[in-house]
Chain A
Amino acid sequence: MVKSGALAILVGRLNDVLQYAVGEPLNYLVNWGRIYSLWPVHLETACCSIEFGAASGPRYDLERYGVLEAFGSLRQCDLLIVQGTVNRKVAPRVRMVYDQMPDPKYVISMGACSNTGGLYFDSYNVLKGVDSIVPVDVYIPGCPPRPEAIIQALIMLQNKIKKQKFAPPELKQIETKVA
Chain B
Amino acid sequence: MIDPAWVSVLSVILFIIGVWGAFTRKNAIIVLMCLELILNAANLQFVAAAIQHGDATGWVYAIFAIAIAASEVAIGLAIFLAMYGQHETISLDDVNLLKH
Q: Do A and B come from one complex?
A: no
